[in-house]
Amino acid sequence: MAAETASLMKNANLNENGGNSGEQWRPIMGESPSKEQSFRKDFEHAAAETYLITRLAFILLSYLGVGYRWITRVLALLCYAMLLLPGFLQVGYYYFFSSQVHRSLIYGDQPRNRFDLYLPRNTDGRKPVVIFVTGGAWIIGYKAWGSFLGKQFTERDIIVACLDYRNFPQGTISDMIKDVSQGISFVCNNIASCGGDPNRIYLVGQSAGAHISACALLQQCIGESRDESSSWSISQIKAYFALSGGYNMLNLIDHFNNRGLYRSIFLSIMEGEKSLEKYSPELVVKDKSIAKAVAMLPPIFLFHGTKDHSIPSDASESFADALRKAGGHAEVILYEGKTHTDLFVQDPLRGGKDELFERMVSIIHADDEDALAKDAMAPPMKRLVPEILLKLAREISPF
């Protein structure tokens, strides 16, 4: 498999739809660059991203102006990150130095069209694949946020691709959906050369990433139902796991405004008030003219904490109800007392058996008895942050 992967990374090209245009993947296995070359490339990439993020931050500040809500949120976020720093440092070390992690691979021609690939140590047989789309309020999403999730999945013999996409103000919602769809296409078309099974791909979206992913899936289904040409097939996505997402933008705009994501900025992200319905998956599936498209959706599992203040859990319940009435398959799994960050940050850092993670793995391995047997024997995860710091972080979390 190493030779196949090296060949793919040398020869696979891409265009807007995941085909050929001339820009190449760099090798991730086999013929690797020297440590000096690798360090230089990483440094140059980090410098370019730092410059880009700094420039975009100043543009974003011009939108935000001076407002106490977002300023207090930023300060709370800094304190939150400091409290969880012991865990973040350990995950960061894995992200930057593990041979299983291959960072910033290219899937498109935009600066943020990059993804991180996490490969299991065991290279026997075809592996199921998870495509992860991170959250970040459509503004601060970054592929590295999925590094711990990538580590968890690879320990269960699952390949993970964490997608980046354009954030606001670099792009608006249509750009984000286009990027995610293009990233899904690229993974679907190329993952076989890395040992992945192109017919066992699972999509995971978290928070804003859950919303963007749901929009991308619906657009793909609508296109296929109308016999439009496409570079990937919705049938390749075996299930969609949505964590703490929002799916009715008309219902959430005032809630977000009160939480510090001001109405004017949110409308800019969503391309105006008239577009809110268009980018609300819950409302889109109610359109009876696309019933055929809704029926094509993969099984959808909506995970949400009942104490989520960023996006209330009834957002998932309402979306699931709309999907079922429209002929789709949807299941809601609620976690009593869990907040927006508990499910994705604090619980994994706490160690032990992570209920949400185990639920996803059980679905991915449902038809593989050997994998299920290995899962049952898997050791609990190591605790990365003391409980006192986790509790303090939970209280101060801006999300």
Establish whether 280 is a catalytic residue.
Answer: no
The one catalytic residue in 116, 164, 308, 354 is 308
**Exposed, middle or buried, 4 (CB in 10 Å: 0-12/13-18/19+)?**
middle
**Catalytic residue status for 340:** yes
* Pairing relationship of beta strands 127-133 and 196-206 according to DSSP bridges: parallel
**Active-site entry in 102, 211, 304, 340:** 340
Task: Tell me how far apart the alpha carbons of residues 111 and 154 are, in angstroms, rounded to a whole number.
Answer: 27
- Can you give the C-alpha Rg of the chain in angstroms? 20
Please report where in the chains the tokens 């609620």 appear, as a residue: 334
Distance between CA 134 and CA 213 in Å, rounded?
10
Concerning whether 207 is annotated as a catalytic residue, the answer is yes
**CB-based contact 191:152 (threshold 8 Å):** no
**Alpha carbon distance 331, 365 (integer Å):** 18
Q: Are β-strands 13-14 and 23-24 bridged in parallel, bridged antiparallel, or unpaired? A: antiparallel
Q: Are 286 and 318 in contact (CB under 8 A)?
A: no
Q: Are 303 and 333 in contact (CB under 8 A)?
A: yes
Whole-Å CA distances, 355 to 19, 220, 333, 351, 370: 38, 31, 11, 11, 21
Q: Which residues does 224 contact at the CB level (< 8 Å), separation at least 6?
A: 230, 233, 234, 293, 296
Give the C-alpha separation, 199 to 147, whole Å: 24
The first and second tokens of residue 286, run together, are 């109610």
Whole-angstrom distance, CA of residue 300 vs CA of residue 81: 31
Residue among 181, 185, 193, 207 flagged as catalytic: 207
Q: Which of 361, 328, 344, 363 is nearest to 243 (CA)?
A: 344
For the sheet with 101-106, list strands across it: 101-106, 114-118, 159-163, 127-133, 196-206, 237-243, 300-305, 330-335
Structure tokens at 288: 């009876």
List the catalytic residues: 207, 308, 340
